[in-house]
Structure 1
């Protein structure tokens, strides 16, 4: 979008917050870049340049506006609706892949050489992997400076900087201020007190409106797995398995943001934890684009207009979601939760949660490698499917992560015994984030469709769904919300 100067300029003229995260506005006369919705006076068109990301603007020598905080806007929805190499790389960078594996590791995950990936990102995003990771480190450092009382030296290394000097120089270049000045200014805001490893960190997760949070939070509450997920005091809480340790997150929805409280075993996992929480709640979605398409269907329009801004209930871990989807085949939601809870209690890593009832993380593929069939109280065919799935994930025959190819993942899933189109589409929709996944055989989807006068037959409904593309996953979520089911209650009628 940043290449369309006239469209971007009109968006900035109208101070339209819907475009925050799509691009940033850089002003040549001041050397500052802003969100499209920044309230400052709009400069003359000849003095304006548009960039696709904060990283690109920083690379061109511009500093972030101290008023509108463009580096803290919602992420671009473009990277969550595309399946090409650039989009997959952007999702992996957001998950912290560059800091953990370097540019070479990132490139190998996407299937290109480091040089090829650098060229593609430069051409489309205006910055390479290192610059993008650097911008992410700046944002992590800024969050820690403004919301914690951590020492700056601890913040520097927690955010991923190699030295205190690099931390200071980068903050000064990107924000035109010092860490001390940032903290002094933040102390006048309404931030929650927080502290280093093992103590609570509280922050706001921005979201594009409209935000029909009841749908996504209700679904997560209704399917919560005992031990690793719960609802408490108006918040959805769960454990996180992170690169350096575990975390516990509490997510409380508000009309225009989500309040996030994180307790991390190692604070260096902050940026990864935030990225996974945003992915779990689908916070970088573009609700206006979804409304434009789904609202045009006369049969679906009443449901869409009743609760615009639905989000997809996603996951913090693609492999976890897939195991849970297989356990949920042809059983009730309650039974699926029970089956998954047994695995959590038997194989998950214990966690400390003094303020709640969480006990373990959901086990990793490695932890499930030697699973005892006694912990799988499911039919023998389902048991074989689970064990085969775990073997495929452990052996690399099946790749599921933020940067995997959606279509290839579907093919790999369908090649496994016991996994059919329903499971593959649920994984594509909720695990991988494909906005056009469509589990047409889902019983709830078919019942909801019939109630609205849409075809209930799988083939006919699939044909009809073509008019909802590329947002069929969101159509599924809208259909689900019409049912009288526990996943549609937020706050839940009773805590799962």
Structure 2
């Protein structure tokens, strides 16, 4: 979008919040870059330059606006609706792959050489993977500086910097303020910041409006695995398995943001935990585009108008979601929760949760290599499917991660005996975030379709769904909201 000067200029002139995260506006006369919605008076058009990312603006020598804080805007929805190599790389960078595995590891994950990937990234987003990761570290540092009382040495470590000097230099270059000045400004504007050095952090996750949070939070609550997930005090809480340890996240929805409270074993995991929390709630979606596309179908128009801004209930761990979908094949929601609880209790790492009732982290595939059949109280055929999926994920013949190829993942899943189109589409939709996945054989989808006068049989319904592309995952979520089911109740009804 940043290449369309007139469109970007109109968005800046109208201070349109919908475009925050799509691009940033750099001002030649001040050497500052801003969100499109920055409240300051827009500069003359001749002094504007538009960049696709904060990293690209920083690379060009601009620093972040102190008023609108463009480095804290929602992420671009573009990277979540595309399946090409640049979008896959952007999703992996957001998950912290560069900090953990370097650019070489990132390139290997997407199947390109480092040189090829850097050329593509420069062409598409105006910055190399290292610059993008640097911008992400700076954003993480700013969040920690402004919302916690962590010592700056811990902030630097948690943000992924290799030294205090690198941390100080980057913060000054990006924000034109020292870390101390940033913290003092936050205290003046927002009052006292968070607790010091306890591994606890509280922050607001920005979200694009409209945000129909009842649908996604209702779904997460209805499918919550006891011990791994719970609803408490108006928040959805769950455990996290992170690169350097474990964590617990508490997420409470509001119309324009989600209040997030994080507890982690290792500060280095904060960035990954925040990225995965955003992914779980699909916070970087583009609701305006979805509403416009789906609202044009007369069958869906009333549903879309009733609750615009639906999000897809996603996951913090693609492997976990895939295993849970297989456990839930041809059984009720309650039975699926029971099967998952047994696995978590038997194989997941035990954790301590002083603030609630969480007891275990859902196990990884390495912990499920040899599952005792006594923990699999369902048919032998599904046991074989689950074991084959575990083996495929562990051995690499099935690749499910933020940067995987969606179509290749479907093919790998369908090659496993007992995994059919419904399972593959549910994993693509909720696990991988493919916006165009469509589980057309889902009983709930078919029942809702019949209520709305749409074809109730899977084949004609799938044919009709072509009109909803590339937003069929969101059409699925809207269809589910037409049903009287627990997934549509937030807060959950008392049992």
TM-score by length of 2: 0.99
What is the Cα deviation at residue 351 of structure 1? 1.2
For 2:198 and 2:433, locate their aligned partners in 1 and report how far apart those are by CA, in whole Å.
Answer: 31
Give 5+ residue unaligned stretches, structure 1: none
CA distance in 1, matches of 2:138, 2:494: 41
8 Å contact from structure 1 (residues 197, 265) kept in 2: no
Distance 1:471 1:440 in 2: 14
- Map Cα deviations across residues 130-176 of structure 1 (whole Å, 9 max, x no partner): 00000000011111111111111111111111111111111111000
For the residues of structure 2 that align with 1:465 and 1:348, how far apart are their CA atoms? 39
Task: Quote how far apart the aligned CAs of 1:199 are.
Answer: 3.7
Matched, 1:315 2:315: yes
Give the 5 Å matches for 1:113-192: 113-190=113-190
Partner of residue 385, structure 1: 385
Aligned to 2:278: 278
3-state DSSP class of the match of 1:394?
A: helix
Deviation for aligned residue 1:189: 3.4
Instruction: Name the structure 1 match of 2:414.
Output: 414
Deviation digits for residues 354-409 of structure 1, max 9, x if unmatched?
Answer: 00000111100101112111111111111111111101111111000000000000
Q: How many residues align?
A: 495
CA distance in 1, matches of 2:272, 2:373: 33
* Correspondence 1:445-484 to 2 at 5 A: 445-484=445-484
CA distance in 2 between counterparts of 1:402 and 1:353 reads 28
Residue 194 of structure 1: how far off its partner (Å): 3.0
Deviations 1:51-84 (A, max 9, x none): 0000000010000001001000000000000000
Contact 2:209 2:256 in 1 (8 A): yes
* Corresponding residue SS for 1:168: helix
Give, in angstroms, the shift of residue 198 of structure 1: 4.7
Distance 1:58 1:195 in 2: 31
Question: Secondary structure at 1:117's aligned position in 2?
Answer: helix
Residues 153-162 or 209-218, more deviating: 153-162
Within 1, Cα distance between the matches of 2:481 and 2:439? 15
Give runs of aligned pairs for residues 361-440 of structure 1, distance below 5 A. 361-440=361-440
Q: Work out whether residues 121 and 129 of structure 1, in 8 Å CA contact, stay in contact via their aligned partners in 2.
A: yes
Question: Residue in 2 aligned with 1:492?
Answer: 492
For the residues of structure 2 that align with 1:240 and 1:198, how far apart are their CA atoms? 17
- Give the whole-Å Cα distance in 2 for the aligned partners of 1:191 and 1:107: 43
1:437-471 CA-to-partner distances (Å, cap 9, x unmatched) read: 00000000000000000000111101111110000
Q: CA deviation at 1:196?
A: 5.4
Distance (Å, rounded) in 1 between the aligned partners of 2:268 and 2:166 = 17
Structure 2 counterpart SS, 1:419:
coil
Q: Does 1:24 align with 2:24?
A: yes
The whole-number CA distance in structure 2 between the counterparts of 1:395 and 1:180 is 47
Structure 1 residue aligned with 2:346: 346
CA-based RMSD of the aligned residues comes to 0.9
> Please, what TM-score do these two structures have when normalized by structure 1?
0.99
SS in 1 for 2:188: coil
Give me the whole-angstrom Cα distance separating, in 2, the residues matched to 1:186 and 1:292.
38
- Asked if 1:111 corresponds to 2:111, the answer is yes
Secondary structure in 2 matching 1:184: helix
How far apart, in 1, do the equivalents of 2:352 and 2:283 lie?
28
2-structure distance, mates of 1:358, 1:194: 23
Partner of 2:214: 214
Answer yes or no: is the 8 Å Cα contact 1:197–1:263 preserved in 2: no
Post-superposition offset of 1:188: 2.0
1:6-85 matches, within 5 Å, as: 6-85=6-85
